[in-house]
A and B are shown apart, each in its own frame.
Chain A
Amino acid sequence: MTQPVLSVRNLEVEFVTRRATLRAVNGVSFDIAKGEVLGVVGESGAGKSVTGLAVIGLIDPPGRISAGEIELSGSRIDHLPPEEIRRVRGKRIGMIFQDPLTSLNPLYRIGDQIVETIRTHTNLSESAARRRAIDLLAEVGIPAPEKRIDGYPHEFSGGMRQRVVIALAICAEPELIIADEPTTALDVSVQAQIIALIKRLGRDHGTAVMLVTHDMGVIAETCDRVAVMYSGRIAEIGPVQEVVRNPLHPYAKGLMGAIPTLAGEDKRLVQIPGSMPRLSAIPPGCPFNPRCAFAFDRCRVERPEPIRQGTQSVACHLFEPAKETAA
């Protein structure tokens, strides 16, 4: 088996506040292979974005990575000194944020921002970096890039700005792109283009992509594998077709049941009763147990560990093989 581009093991991220220490990410493990797109879904506050930020080393105090390992192509990148993790950011990991309208500095020409990033990570001359910037803008589908390169961010539409942001994220040919809800702030018609673009770039350059979103449509369309997060943990992870068609974890089942279909079947969408616990009040055992229709005594005391089920991996006591059959 080839080495994964990104390998996260038992990651924990804590936010130390005056009242309590909140654990936003609690024992998350996953791999992303070269050229693979991993979708990360979950409700707001499930720890998706924090996981992405932890990988790129942008967890700011009072937050910190309290346990676990993050490996990029075999070398550990958590706990690197600030200057070294800075060299990884933008160079080996590119990041795309949710809101393209606010991601670009309004006072600088987009060309200057791209050239600045390229020259931070490579030895290219000013003019070579500019030529590369034009190529990049062309690659992300901005028409007349040699003219648009001298435009300011406010002269671009939301979709075009997100293309510029993507150009910035890939300008140093990173091994991994983390896209944090890249389409949430965009029009539906533009969303599809941006998703197609990210997918194409990942394929063309063999870049691994971690796509954080709460849009199951985007996941189904784009990803190779998907991780369903709940309350700081991965509830289920597996190939996208399996997880979407045959979800195992009760939460994943609920989530997939809540996707409307175009067939217009005359039935109500399934709702999961209740809401995700706040970080300060996560119940003992499985965090999903108060909302779970299948919860039994063990779920309330013991935290489930991921269990392999074919190509999927699910953190639920229902799938515990030995003990269940023995009992």
Chain B
Amino acid sequence: MLAFTLRRVLQAIGVMLAVGVIAFAMFRFAGDPVNQMVSIDTSAAQRAEIRHSLGLDDPVLVQFGRYFINALQFKFGVSYQFRLPVSSLLAERMPATLELAIVATILAMVAGILMGVYSALRRDTILARLFQAISLIGISLPTFLIGILLIYLFAVTLGWLPSFGRGEVVKLGWWSTGLLTVSGWKAIIMPAITLGLFQMTLIMRLVRAEMLEVLRTDYIRFARARGLTTRAIHFGHALKNTLVPVITVAGLQFGSVIAFSIITETVFQWPGMGLLFVQAVQNVDIPIMAAYLLMVSLIFVTINLVVDILYTVVDPRLRSTVGRAA
């Protein structure tokens, strides 16, 4: 088990190294950063001095090493646009994005699993068919369209919910949360639905398909032959077996939720990292883009790692094969 975890951690570090190279390469492809910092009438000598002070005249490998060591300490340089350290910009925006992603994922998991189980167990009911239809819409409609439709309905027409922003936020140390105020909750409803809808339909369809599969297995038939209650069979034996692939997908999807919150955040002007990234792209703010790339890949790699380890918690068969291999 330990060896397995260690091996996975090493693989994760390898992936992060590769991403680091790409992030660093972005700086070199996007032209001379000094030109973007200084005004047109700066003299060549001054430019050289700036270049030297930033260490940009060092060999590439040295620069990469420095970038990497700084990145390890979460120092990603200074934003061209805001003239502030990227790390503090990201840290300031991160709570908004994480809160949105977490609320959206919880929403997607709870609603997706419930709808999936229902439509598997009561396959032929009208409600189950309705869920199937909704899931088709959720899978095929693009996120921004859903967001705009929601805004039109609930913010413009009905006026129930705010169309943009986070509402009032409360500071908890460095973390700012919108989940402690009514306006914060009101503000998060629509973005969370927009962001989570795709995941929800995905999970629903997955749960339904897996559940139908599991209900056909011999051990479910044997569980029925043992006279267990329908409840115990469906929610004990069948659901637990269904959850193994669901955990994988939901876990991996959490990374995409954060990465794709870019669109939702833009639609709702949600002050998170996604919005920051979009602004950075518009302004060719390389340090922010590079840092965002690194951070999103760190999130993906971490989630992959956690999912791998979670597998073994849910499925004892993996535990022993992993143990044997180690």
Q: Which residues of A contact B (CB under 8 A)?
A: 56, 58, 82, 86-91, 94-95, 97, 99, 102-108, 116-117, 120-121, 152, 154-155, 165, 168-169, 172
- Which listed segment binds A: B62-70, B224-232, B261-269? B224-232
Which of chain B's residues have a CB closer than 8 A to the CB of A89?
A: 224-227
Q: Are B226 and A120 in contact (CB under 8 A)?
A: yes
Give 14 new A-B contacts, CB below 8 A, not counting A86-B229, A102-B217, A169-B225. Answer: A87-B227, A89-B226, A94-B225, A97-B225, A104-B219, A105-B219, A105-B241, A106-B241, A107-B241, A108-B237, A108-B240, A120-B227, A154-B316, A154-B320
Q: Which residues of B contact A (CB under 8 A)?
A: 217-219, 221-230, 232, 236-237, 240-241, 314-317, 320
In whole Å, how far is A113's beta carbon from the nearest beta carbon of chain B?
A: 8
Instruction: Please name the residue on chain B nearest to A165 by beta carbon.
Output: B222
Instruction: Please name the residue on chain A nearest to B319 by beta carbon.
Output: A152
A121 to B232, CA, bound (A): 13
In whole Å, how far is A31's beta carbon from the nearest beta carbon of chain B?
A: 22
In whole Å, how far is A216's beta carbon from the nearest beta carbon of chain B?
A: 25
Q: Are A97 and B218 in contact (CB under 8 A)?
A: yes
Which of chain A's residues have a CB closer than 8 A to the CB of B232?
A: 116, 120
Q: Are B222 and A103 in contact (CB under 8 A)?
A: yes
Which of chain B's residues have a CB closer than 8 A to the CB of A105?
A: 219, 223, 237, 241
Q: Say yes or no: A103-B316 contact (C-beta < 8 A), given A86-B229, A90-B227, A121-B227.
A: no
Instruction: Please name the residue on chain B nearest to A92 by beta carbon.
Output: B227
Q: Are A102 and B224 in contact (CB under 8 A)?
A: no
Instruction: Please name the residue on chain A nearest to B223 by beta carbon.
Output: A105
Q: Are B218 and A102 in contact (CB under 8 A)?
A: yes
A142 to B150, CA, bound (A): 62
Instruction: Please name the residue on chain A nearest to B219 by beta carbon.
Output: A105
Q: Are B315 and A95 in contact (CB under 8 A)?
A: no
Q: Are A106 and B317 in contact (CB under 8 A)?
A: yes
Q: Are B227 and A86 in contact (CB under 8 A)?
A: yes
Which of chain B's residues have a CB closer than 8 A to the CB of A116?
A: 228, 232, 236
Q: Are B314 and A107 in contact (CB under 8 A)?
A: yes
Q: Which of A91, A102, A107, A169 contacts B315 (CB 8 A)?
A: A107
In whole Å, how far is A181's beta carbon from the nearest beta carbon of chain B?
A: 12
A154 to B320, CA, bound (A): 9
Q: Say yes or no: A99-B317 contact (C-beta < 8 A), given A87-B227, A117-B228.
A: no
A212 to B230, CA, bound (A): 27
In whole Å, how far is A42's beta carbon from the nearest beta carbon of chain B?
A: 21
Which of chain B's residues have a CB closer than 8 A to the CB of A155?
A: 320
Q: Which of B217, B226, B240, B316 contacts A90 (CB 8 A)?
A: B226
Q: Are A152 and B317 in contact (CB under 8 A)?
A: yes
Q: Are A58 and B241 in contact (CB under 8 A)?
A: no
Closest 6 CB pairs of A and B: A90-B227, A89-B227, A102-B218, A95-B225, A90-B226, A152-B316
A235 to B96, CA, bound (A): 75
Q: Which of B219, B228, B241, B315 contacts A103 (CB 8 A)?
A: B219
Which of chain A's residues have a CB closer than 8 A to the CB of B315?
A: 106-107
A85 to B315, CA, bound (A): 32
Q: Are B227 and A117 in contact (CB under 8 A)?
A: yes
Q: Are A91 and B227 in contact (CB under 8 A)?
A: yes
A267 to B218, CA, bound (A): 41
Which of chain A's residues have a CB closer than 8 A to the CB of B217?
A: 102
Which of chain B's residues have a CB closer than 8 A to the CB of A107?
A: 240-241, 314-316
Which of chain A's residues have a CB closer than 8 A to the CB of B240?
A: 107-108
A to B CB contacts below 8 Å, 14 in the list: A86-B227, A86-B230, A88-B227, A90-B225, A95-B222, A97-B218, A97-B225, A102-B219, A105-B241, A106-B241, A120-B226, A120-B227, A120-B229, A154-B320
In whole Å, how far is A136's beta carbon from the nearest beta carbon of chain B?
A: 13
In whole Å, how far is A210's beta carbon from the nearest beta carbon of chain B?
A: 13
Q: Are B228 and A58 in contact (CB under 8 A)?
A: no
A315 to B240, CA, bound (A): 49
Q: Are B227 and A106 in contact (CB under 8 A)?
A: no
A46 to B156, CA, bound (A): 68
Q: Are B228 and A90 in contact (CB under 8 A)?
A: yes
